[in-house]
Structure 1
């Protein structure tokens, strides 16, 4: 019982634990039910054999890419693109729901044993991931059932338009079920719904479409030409390398202490948002934030406590703006935000000022628990000064906006700190 009480799953929010248990139990129940209704005939034996074959290929896939996968698991958290879709979705197209679900359990069980467990990933995470894929596979298998590739249909030999329609519907159902459950878990864990997490980005969509296309090719080849199926492994390994490069780029662009964009990555994102705003005749605002008296926190509690405060402030700032608003760490205790797509004129200026005030108040309410050598304590009384620069019809360059925000920040510091100041006409003096 003591061992059970120490499981990492109990550290999750109660709502997330409930969802996790519900999804796992539902997936387990569907697997049992789908297997129980299978008749004891030759078709079932062939389906189970097909599930074993796809599982074996998934295991081989993992072993060939194990070095890349272990490195991916050691990288900071981010969008984890799942290339096992090639085998799980192929199972949904080729096999009845029960054997297709067995493919998922076999592939992910081996993945956990060989990669996730060694990387220290909590077992409940692979359990939830496998359960979401089981539900997606079962749903897609049911949709594709009337046009089962190589079993009850004839898609591989030139099926009807209805067969191809069911195939497309199975793709949509698979993606929707899986993505919805993943976004649900992310929303409950952060208590914040994000459209970026829900929709992903174009790179993620491109990789997902590639794996789905390979899965369809596997499903078409498996019944008639099974010896051709291993030919998908070389392009799969190339996809692994592409995903690894993408994750390494994300790591380069991410500040290690705060999880925000680095200054260079923020500048790149901000330039793109500024160009987009100009094309749409919209405005942007730059917020430059500086932690007040941060040296006193480092001197009084230590630099590790200072890092925790930085991380807490970073999370608070990011939570107060939209997903599409780039947030970066600009210096030691400086942060920078670009508010994109604002209306030009007075309304846009007011929105930018309200956003800055919202951030300032949220930081002021922070209580950061730390654990110094003298015992656990809390750092409160944290505050930020904010300078705001706005670009509407003047179409100012990003560097000009940063300079104006810097002057405004200096004015906020001189006025007593813990306040917001909009840009004024350029003045002299620096912090």
Structure 2
């Protein structure tokens, strides 16, 4: 048995204490609110019938079967998820919110999330405090849905127009409360990350609604004379899990592991599609090719691990400086590429389009020059890497070419013109970009 001092040392080493104090306070407030709601439910002495208890047990049992059926898929999915995680277990928790007394609905959330942590999160190394917070947000969302039902449909939920309207409002309340609590913490933890990027594409919103809709069907099945019909929901849930996994594996295949940007092949494929869309909609677009200046010096002075950290920071800067629908990729080494889609109508003059592309490139150039990258995360030293600069070349669609190959070649030639101009500068278009073969000795300015 551990001594009190050893137990205290163990508690002080919990990962939760490593998060920033402001974020920790917000997490604790949400968790305390959830505890307060459950306590109030327990003290309210609302009668719980045997039918309610049976429904709660059946929901928990179905959730356990669900977790076991998708165990391998979920471990992969949760270990690689970067956007807001659509929790397909809301099938069961939302059904509980519609059908069970609040105290039983909350108890079902606790049971389901405890089992989920033991079987999925813990083996993948996810800290327990994240699962505790997730459970707390779901408990609050369950109560929000319950309040909506109490105010709009205190009687029959199914079989009436009013009940259907109340059901839709409860679904909306559950989704909004849970999503806002999750994204609020994400925004505080990573203030530079765009919420829309974390939330993911519209497909994930549709998936969230579809999952909750299945939860409504589960609740309806439990009100019939054949409650075991809820098990029929598991096969479609399995299909959803595998569909999501295929999508995530595709995203992983398209992603550069070092920076999180699109890899070269994926960038080319998606950029060609974006240019076809620009041609159909008669809008202009731009291509930027960027190369870090003298990056070999960074690797030689600080090591390749520190160099990799610089690449990650630069990649994040690129994402922050362009719009969500622009495409950012890594060509390899210290070279990056950006497709700026839907800049303006094609009646914009080529000169104005080139100025806009150059302005965006110059904004990126200035941001990179201001970067200060600490190497303590990779080698434990107190060194700060600064003075990193980038040369930028640009091209404009359609004035500089209609094909992606031509645009990249023009932007690449402009990049070498920027190198010749002294680096840490921007050049756009073929008029400012002589071919790289004009530089003496072929390519003495690489890097």
TM-score, normalised to structure 2's length? 0.88
Asked whether 1:36 is paired with 2:43, we answer yes
For residues 25-66 of structure 1, the C-alpha deviation after alignment (integer angstroms, 9 at most, x for no partner) is 112211221232242x3x444334422321221122111211
User: Equivalents in 1 of 2:198, 2:98: separation in Å?
Assistant: 25
* Pair 1:283–1:75, CA change in 2 (3 A): same
User: Equivalents in 2 of 1:120, 1:210: separation in Å?
Assistant: 29
User: Equivalents in 2 of 1:408, 1:120: separation in Å?
Assistant: 46
Aligned twin of 1:360: 365
Aligned twin of 2:139: 134
User: Equivalents in 1 of 2:411, 2:30: separation in Å?
Assistant: 48
Aligned twin of 1:222: 222
Question: Conserved in 2, the CA contact under 8 Å of 1:195 and 1:323?
Answer: no
Following superposition, the deviation at residue 222 of structure 1 comes to: 0.8
Aligned twin of 1:318: 319
Aligned twin of 1:10: 17
Question: Conserved in 1, the CA contact under 8 Å of 2:392 and 2:414?
Answer: yes
Following superposition, the deviation at residue 168 of structure 1 comes to: 0.9
Question: Conserved in 2, the CA contact under 8 Å of 1:76 and 1:251?
Answer: no
User: Equivalents in 2 of 1:118, 1:234: separation in Å?
Assistant: 25
User: Equivalents in 1 of 2:391, 2:299: separation in Å?
Assistant: 18
* Alignment match of 2:385 (pick from 367, 370, 379): 379
Aligned twin of 2:75: 70
* Pair 1:32–1:226, CA change in 2 (3 A): same
Aligned twin of 1:286: 287
Aligned twin of 2:156: 153
Question: Conserved in 1, the CA contact under 8 Å of 2:288 and 2:339?
Answer: yes
Quote the RMSD (CA, aligned, Å).
2.3
Aligned twin of 2:272: 271
User: Equivalents in 2 of 1:28, 1:392: separation in Å?
Assistant: 59
Aligned twin of 2:298: 297
* Pair 1:250–1:105, CA change in 2 (3 A): same
Matched position secondary structure for 1:82 = coil
Question: Conserved in 2, the CA contact under 8 Å of 1:38 and 1:44?
Answer: no
For residues 232-264 of structure 1, the C-alpha deviation after alignment (integer angstroms, 9 at most, x for no partner) is 112212221111111111111111111111112
Question: Conserved in 1, the CA contact under 8 Å of 2:391 and 2:424?
Answer: yes
Aligned twin of 1:172: 172
Question: Conserved in 1, the CA contact under 8 Å of 2:83 and 2:197?
Answer: no
Aligned twin of 1:399: 405
Q: Which segment is superposed worse, 195-204 or 321-330?
A: 195-204
Matched position secondary structure for 1:153 = coil
* Alignment match of 2:435 (pick from 418, 428, 431): 428
Structure 1 runs of 4+ aligned residues shifted over 6 Å read none
User: Equivalents in 2 of 1:248, 1:322: separation in Å?
Assistant: 24
User: Equivalents in 2 of 1:133, 1:365: separation in Å?
Assistant: 41
Question: Conserved in 1, the CA contact under 8 Å of 2:73 and 2:241?
Answer: yes
**Unpaired stretches in structure 1, ≥5 consecutive residues:** none
Aligned twin of 2:338: 337
* Alignment match of 2:423 (pick from 407, 417, 425): 417
Following superposition, the deviation at residue 198 of structure 1 comes to: 6.6
Asked whether 1:25 is paired with 2:37, we answer no
Following superposition, the deviation at residue 2 of structure 1 comes to: 3.8
For residues 272-310 of structure 1, the C-alpha deviation after alignment (integer angstroms, 9 at most, x for no partner) is 332333333322111111011111222222222221111
1:75-154 correspondence runs (5 A): 75=80, 77-145=82-150, 152-153=155-156
Following superposition, the deviation at residue 394 of structure 1 comes to: 6.7
Aligned twin of 1:238: 239
Question: Conserved in 1, the CA contact under 8 Å of 2:357 and 2:428?
Answer: no
User: Equivalents in 1 of 2:311, 2:41: separation in Å?
Assistant: 50
Question: Conserved in 2, the CA contact under 8 Å of 1:147 and 1:153?
Answer: no
User: Equivalents in 2 of 1:215, 1:226: separation in Å?
Assistant: 14
Matched position secondary structure for 1:329 = strand
User: Equivalents in 1 of 2:193, 2:386: separation in Å?
Assistant: 27
Matched position secondary structure for 1:327 = strand
For residues 204-257 of structure 1, the C-alpha deviation after alignment (integer angstroms, 9 at most, x for no partner) is 234323322321211110121211111111221222111111111111111111
Aligned twin of 2:66: 61
Aligned twin of 1:307: 308
